[in-house]
Amino acid sequence: MSRRETPEGIVLDGCLQYLEIRGIFHWRNNTGAVQVRPGQFMRFGKIGSSDILGILPGGRMLCVECKAKSGRLSPEQKQFLDDARELGALALVVRDWQELDESLRKEGYAMKDMPLFSGTNRQEGQ
């Protein structure tokens, strides 16, 4: 089963699509390690950093950790979110894209009357 087919992957894909449709500047933040030689790994990304990072209108940082219904934060993920919040970021743990929508609306970053799906896809360069 690929990561995209896991419950957490489905949440992540939904959140990425939601942010794209809403026009919120964001990117998928990957962390991990790759084997460069037998027994030698190169790490990338900050351990514990959120699945999605972005910049909200006005310049506030957005950090979104996507979890399945039963998923739990690692100590590193909790620390990253706490540190980000302390510095002024909107740092969230969400279990579906609707929870992300609700949190952004509560903070004043999403318009209530804006339809979620306009029936057209935004193309690159438009």
Tokens of 32: 């991990």
Task: Map out the domains of the chain with their CATH numbers.
Answer: 3-107 (3.40.1350.10)
Least confident of 28-42, 61-75, 104-118: 104-118
Q: Indicate left, alpha or beta for 86 from its phi (over 0: left) and psi (-120 to 50: alpha).
A: alpha
pLDDT of residue 123: 39
Residue-level pLDDT at 126? 36
pLDDT tens-place string over residues 29-53: 999 899 999 999 999 999 999 999 9
